[in-house]
Amino acid sequence: MARGRPTGFGCIVYAYLSYIDDGGFMDDPVDNNKPPTFWQMLHSVMAAAFGVQSGKNRARDFSHGKPSHFVMLGILFTAVFALTLFGIVKLVVYLAGI
């Protein structure tokens, strides 16, 4: 599969996260000596989960972030995502009467 811009749902996530990176509502002042904030780490985990992490954020995460924080957020995000999907499926099955 060729690398480049994602397609389908990944394209929507890519556009949204690019908006945030290009001066959206999470545009924090750049301070290269500070570790990433909780919101920056959550943004990085979500972007990585959908495969649209920017090079700038990845460099920041590897140079200033603690791996344990990203692992914990990744596990939490995965659990919440899986439980959300499970809940949606249960709701659809209930409403379908199956």
The predicted-structure confidence for 52-94, as pLDDT tens digits, reads as follows 988 888 888 889 888 999 999 999 999 999 999 999 999 999 9
- 1: in domain: no
Give the structural domain span for 55. 9-96
DSSP 88: H
Q: What is the mean pLDDT of residues 15-21?
A: 56
- 3: in domain: no
Say what the pLDDT of residue 25 is. 45
Does the pLDDT of residue 31 top 60, yes or no? no
- Residues of the chain with pLDDT > 70: what percent? 67
Q: What are phi and psi of 2, to 5 degrees?
A: -70, 140
- 2: in domain: no
Q: Is the pTM of this model over 0.85?
A: no
Say what the pLDDT of residue 33 is. 75
- 4: in domain: no
- 16: in domain: yes
Say what the pLDDT of residue 86 is. 98
Q: How far is CA 52 from CA 4, 7, 8, 49, 88, in A?
A: 10, 11, 13, 8, 25
Say what the pLDDT of residue 27 is. 47
d(C-alpha 44, C-alpha 74), whole Å: 10
Considering its fold, how many domains does the chain have in total?
1
Decide if 14 contacts 5 (C-beta within 8 A): yes
Q: What are phi and psi of 55, to 5 degrees?
A: -65, -35
- 62: in domain: yes
